Amino acid sequence: MSSATEPLGRAGRASLGGYYALLVVFLYAPLVVIVAFSFDDSTIAALPFSGFTTRWYRAALHDPTLLDAVRLSALIAATNAVAATALGVLASLGLSARRVLLRPAVTALLVLPLVVPAVVVGVGLLILLDEVGSGPSAGALAAGHVVITVPYTVLIILPRLRTLEASLTEAARDLGANQVVAFWAITRPLMTPAIVSSLIVGFTLSFDEYAIASFLIPPGERTFPIFIYEGSKVPQQRPELLAVASLVIALSLLLVVAAEVGRGRYERRQVAAGAG
Amino acid sequence: MTPAGRRLPPRLGQGWLVAPPAAYLFALLIFPIVLIGLYSVFLRTNLTGVVAVFSFQDWGRFFPASWGELPWRTSSPFWNTFVRSMGVTVVIALATTALAYPLAYFLAFGTRRRRSLLLLVVLAPFFTSFLLRVLAWQVMLRANGVFNSALWELHLRPHGEPVSWLINTWFSVGLVLAYAWVPFVALPIFVSMERIDRRLLEAAHDLGAGRLTAFRKVTFPLSLPGVVAGFVFVLIPTTGEFVTPQLVGGPGTYMFGQAIQDLFVGTASDWNYGAVLAVWLTVVVGLLMALSGRALTMDPRR
Amino acid sequence: MERLDRRDFLRGMAGLGGAALLTGCGAESGLKAAGASTGATGRPVHYPGQVGAEPDHLVIAEWPGYEAGGTKAQTYGLTAGRAYTRRFGASGLTYADYGNDDKNLNKMRAGERFDLLHPCVDYVQDYVDAGLVEPFETDLLPSFDRLYPQFADRGSLNGRQYWIPWDWGFGSVMYRKDKVAEADARGWELMWNERYAGKISMWDGGSTPVMVAGLLTDPPAQDIFHQTSDELERSRQLLIQQKPLNKFYWTSEYGDMQPAFKSGDIWITYAWPADYKAMGDALGYDKVAYMTPSQGKLAWVCGFMMGKGTQSPLHAHAYVESFISLAASANLVNLFAYGSSNASVTPAMVKDGRLARELDIGNPEAFGPPVHVERHIPNRAEYQEVWAEVKAS
């Protein structure tokens, strides 16, 4: 392809590159600020710096309220990841069948949570809990998170399942395997990456969810986002919050990089296996 | 059913497997929305001792009795909130999409080998907690926050006099929301650009089109599905947004989501009226979805 | 959520009628009114059993900053609650943000349950009418007899003690003396003064801003705690007019109001005596003033109620006792510049004599006119609606 047919000239590429760099600064500036002030020896995040300290980290790691919040969030997030992935697998297997009753309606229903604003989901579940006569609870919150997670799990698992079908059907025919054996021996291992992605997404979505949690959290209990929200209103607690935030930032960036590296490895291996 | 002599390949799943997930969403999404609907017409209520009787009264309260000179200066305060909030939401979604477009363009056409790395760099902040990022902006924008104290330190402003519009304004709410969504919007635009067949651009060039013309006639129209999808991705969550305006907004930035939240769990509990607002929001978002067409349908045409 | 049957509802309506009667005599007699609703209907309650047999867990809806001394939430010298945490430990105490009275009342109506809550006197009847609370057994509270009867009586409904008073104080305008002209700081109208646009913050306090507006409408409301629909409409207009002058509506005194006042982001705000003390201590009393408005301050008494269906009533009693005891009450006065419900707190126990004189701490008689003592609002829902509409306007 000659360079003149490229959609970007040299000047265009340079200026868009500059724009990209600016956006990266914009996107990372708040993260840098959080990390910088988490080491600042003052309760007010303002210039000039007052001195270096790691005491906020120590305080954060010894705060029972915070640890309880993280524990509750982790529990809800894990429950959500497993339940939503299970439902996602069922939905994907169902949708990949040739005949599905009311397919358009069912498909629409499965992605509906994506287009219903979170505040409506929260309010609806609040009314539902009132109708069945039970108050807010951690279980109800997990159930609510499953609602908003199912579309994501379906969108992750279903496409993967479709790419498998062609090869699978051949294999199944050649081997004369029945469907259950075929699923267990062939589909399941090949589905593993999609299921792992689905679990990760389910965990992350729930762990970071505030809107629905704010409606369904039982009195006196807090998930991690609720802890952050409440903490943002107490200035004395803010430095500790910045320390927690720095840890979260470090951890999530690490996970993103690890996931990317892992994905790259996996794909290269697949390619190598395919070639061999 | 099957034409003779041609076996259709067996499929993996059984149709009935969709039943459990469908039933789950029916019970915990559709049914609650129906309940909200019942509340909105007073067929149910949580008011103690009040008998629920069908009534459009709360809908009557919501739709303005008199319209005034502007659609957000009517006799119904909550209608005004809706119009203002919706207007701002559209502006924020448009601005975010505009900010994301060049980013997607750069990633799709300005990069080659390091593309996935550059994409990862802009997406990564999205994986850190949303609330923590809002909190970071709060720390930066507040009166004695990072920006203002920096201005004071640099003697650009007299000490103790903060820039007043930095926080508690539509500026701060818009800034934080755009910040949160830009990478997310860039993604579908990037995907739609990547799908563009490069031979079309070559053909345009061969026919004498310059880069600008090629962009106008080929790239831009073909990237539109991604643009619409990205726009809708911001629009939907922002219509019901109540956390960001609570943390960085002010009295003038009261949004529709906040109104719903206040009517259900805030200082002005009125579930029946809150239900009217929630139903209305659902309907409006549904209409917007219908308008934005198939950009978001899960089953790709094949 | 628990629903009331028709009989409960009718009884509630009878209660409302009683309150309406009270409103008539309450306007003149200040604090002494609510005891009158002590009908002869209820038998005194008795909580048998051993404290050790109960779950040692209490979920408490508390205003942030008043969590029991000795808990993680407390890093400064609050004595209240210390006797409890010494005996039972702090690990069984869970706190939820009370928010404000309207918010918490609505939350509990929507099904949230607490073992203890910290409502103010004007909401006592709302909680009782809605069937959300249990009465106390006053014999289990050794300090109960020391409480000012004019406070304690307000928690007695139908012959049962539903509410135990703890703290009282005022609601007024706090402002920066060095930024606001003396001539502008005569009354509540300072919150409406356009010269200070963007430097003002009203409390996002549900009914409270509506009461304040009732003092300023033309003509002022006959009774700011029972405004007619015309009066409410005028209050609404006045609050809409005030809205653009606010930097923000504050929701938490420690979270957003005090930091903004300290940093100079706002100069004029609705505040309580504890805020005045905190800001005076931080900025210097030459820079901060707590107004005695020409229209009169608001005044309130807050205390404890026990949530319906609590599994740990004896723990709840022990907790409340650890707040109303003499030591805890004297500490309350010195720490927050609030008044105490405990009549044994003498002026000699107040360390800052100047502040005590200025705020009339230790003188519950300061509750007379022109101070407006907050009372049950019969048409509460309309007040809440007005404030909701102001925010939405």
Instruction: List CB contacts (< 8 A) between B202 and chain A.
Output: 1, 5
Is there a domain that residue C369 lies in? no
Q: What is the mean pLDDT of chain C?
A: 85
Distance CA C367, CA C353 (A): 19
pLDDT number for residue C393: 87
Instruction: List CB contacts (< 8 A) between B268 and chain C.
Output: 102, 106, 206, 384-385, 387-388, 391
Same domain, A26 and A157: no
Same domain, A23 and A113: no
Is a pLDDT exceeding 90 seen at residue C161? yes
The alpha carbon of residue A271 is apart from the nearest alpha carbon of chain C, in Å, by 55
pLDDT number for residue C263: 82
Same domain, C182 and C146: no
Residue of A nearest to C259 (CA): A235
Same domain, C164 and C175: no
Q: What tens digit of pLDDT does each residue of A18-64 get?
A: 999 999 999 999 999 889 989 988 777 777 788 888 888 998 888 88
Instruction: List CB contacts (< 8 A) between B219 and chain A.
Output: 7
pLDDT number for residue B13: 65
Structural domains in chain B?
28-45+72-295 (1.10.3720.10)
Same domain, C267 and C327: no
Q: What is the mean pLDDT of chain B?
A: 86
Give the pLDDT mean for A238-245. 86
* Domain housing A104: 64-231
Same domain, A212 and A119: yes
Residue of A nearest to C254 (CA): A234
Is there a domain that residue A275 lies in? no
Is there a domain that residue C368 lies in? no
Is a pLDDT exceeding 80 seen at residue C7? no
Angle subtended by helix axes B170-194 and B115-123, to nearest 10: 150
Is there a domain that residue A269 lies in? no
Same domain, A19 and A113: no
C87-126 residues touching A, CB cutoff 8 A? 94-97, 107, 110-114
Of C11-15, C197-201, C263-267, which gets the smallest average pLDDT? C11-15
The alpha carbon of residue A12 is apart from the nearest alpha carbon of chain B, in Å, by 9
Contact yes or no for B36 and A117 at CB 8 A:
no
Strand partners, C97: C62
Contact yes or no for A24 and B121 at CB 8 A:
yes
Is there a domain that residue A2 lies in? no
C105-124 residues touching B, CB cutoff 8 A? 105-107, 109-110
Of C260, C264, C388, the CB nearest to B262: C388
pLDDT number for residue C249: 94
Same domain, A84 and A148: yes
Is there a domain that residue C215 lies in? yes
Of B107-116, B258-267, C379-388, which gets the smallest average pLDDT? B107-116
Same domain, A96 and A219: yes
Same domain, C279 and C312: no
pLDDT number for residue B69: 79
Contact yes or no for C64 and A136 at CB 8 A:
no
pLDDT number for residue B294: 57
Instruction: List CB contacts (< 8 A) between A107 and chain B.
Output: 298-299
- Chains with ≥3 Cβ pairs under 8 A against A? B, C
Contact yes or no for C254 and A219 at CB 8 A:
no
Using alpha carbons only, what angle is made at residue A90 by residues A86 and A94, rounded to the nearest 5 degrees? 170
The token pair at B9 is: 């390949």
Instruction: List CB contacts (< 8 A) between B20 and chain A.
Output: 87, 90
pLDDT number for residue A5: 59
Of B119-133, C17-31, C62-76, C107-121, which gets the smallest average pLDDT? C17-31
Is a pLDDT exceeding 50 seen at residue A233? yes
Is a pLDDT exceeding 80 seen at residue C13? no
Is there a domain that residue C374 lies in? no
Same domain, C316 and C258: no
Is there a domain that residue A97 lies in? yes
Residue in A80, A127, A212, A254 to test binding to B, most B beta-carbons within 10 Å: A127
Is there a domain that residue C373 lies in? no
Is a pLDDT exceeding 70 seen at residue C124? yes
pLDDT number for residue B116: 84
Give the pLDDT mean for A131-159. 92
What interface predicted TM-score (ipTM) does this complex get? 0.89
Is there a domain that residue A58 lies in? no
Same domain, C175 and C284: yes
Is a pLDDT exceeding 80 seen at residue B184? yes
Contact yes or no for B251 and C393 at CB 8 A:
no
Same domain, A107 and A202: yes
How far is residue B184 from each of residues B88, B100, C102, C151, measured CA to CA in Å? Answer: 19, 9, 38, 57
| Chain A interface includes B151 (CB < 8 A) | no
Is there a domain that residue A143 lies in? yes
pLDDT number for residue C6: 32
Same domain, C35 and C157: yes
Same domain, C28 and C91: yes
Question: Which CATH number do you get for residue C118?
Answer: 3.40.190.10
Classify residue C134 by its DSSP letter: E
Q: Output phi, psi for B222, to 5 deg.
A: -75, -20
Same domain, A206 and A252: no
Same domain, C146 and C61: yes
The token pair at C104 is: 């918490």
Same domain, C126 and C175: no
The model's confidence at residue A177, banded by pLDDT at 50, 70 and 90, is low
Is there a domain that residue C371 lies in? no
Is there a domain that residue A24 lies in? yes
Q: How many domains does chain C have?
A: 2
pLDDT number for residue C33: 34
Of A55-64, A196-205, B110-119, which gets the smallest average pLDDT? B110-119
C-beta separation of C225 from C211 below 8 A: yes
Q: What tens digit of pLDDT does each residue of C187-208 get?
A: 999 999 999 999 999 999 889 9
The model's confidence at residue A274, banded by pLDDT at 50, 70 and 90, is low
Q: How many domains does chain A have?
A: 2
Nearest to A211 by CA among A151, A145, A115: A145
Of A64, A126, A232, the CB nearest to C110: A126
Beta strands at C116-117 and C298-307: parallel, antiparallel or unpaired: antiparallel
Is a pLDDT exceeding 50 seen at residue C213? yes
Of A145-159, B140-154, C188-202, which gets the smallest average pLDDT? B140-154
Same domain, C81 and C183: no
pLDDT number for residue A203: 94
* Domain housing C97: 6-168+300-363
Residue type (1 letter), B113: R
Give the pLDDT mean for C69-77. 74
* Helix (H), strand (E) counts: chain C: 13, 13
* Rounded percentage of chain A residues whose pLDDT exceeds 70: 88
The model's confidence at residue B300, banded by pLDDT at 50, 70 and 90, is very low
Q: Which residue has the higher pLDDT, B186 or B11?
A: B186
C-beta separation of A149 from B292 below 8 A: no
Is a pLDDT exceeding 60 seen at residue C309? yes
Most confident of A226-235, A256-265, B245-254: B245-254
pLDDT number for residue C17: 30
B179-238 residues touching A, CB cutoff 8 A? 179, 182-183, 198, 201-202, 205, 211, 214-215, 219, 236-237
Same domain, A77 and A193: yes
Is a pLDDT exceeding 70 seen at residue B7? no
The alpha carbon of residue A248 is apart from the nearest alpha carbon of chain C, in Å, by 23
Is a pLDDT exceeding 70 seen at residue C344? yes
Instruction: List CB contacts (< 8 A) between C393 and chain B.
Output: 77, 80-81
Distance CA B157, CA A47 (A): 14
Is a pLDDT exceeding 50 seen at residue C21? no
Of C59, C111, C258, the CB nearest to A129: C111
Is there a domain that residue A59 lies in? no
The alpha carbon of residue C67 is apart from the nearest alpha carbon of chain A, in Å, by 12
Same domain, C261 and C345: no
Instruction: List CB contacts (< 8 A) between B265 and chain C.
Output: 103, 106-107, 110
Q: What is the mean pLDDT of chain A?
A: 85
The model's confidence at residue C120, banded by pLDDT at 50, 70 and 90, is very high
Is there a domain that residue C1 lies in? no
- Scored b (16 or more CB within 10 A) or e, C202-227 reads bbbbbbbbbbbbbbbbeebbebbbbb
Distance CA A198, CA A157 (A): 7
Residue C197, exposed/middle/buried by CB under 10 A (0-12, 13-18, 19+)? exposed
Give the pLDDT mean for B88-103. 95
The alpha carbon of residue C285 is apart from the nearest alpha carbon of chain A, in Å, by 22
Most confident of A142-151, B264-273, C87-96: A142-151
Task: Classify B108 as helix, strand or coil.
Answer: helix
pLDDT number for residue C107: 83
pLDDT number for residue C297: 93
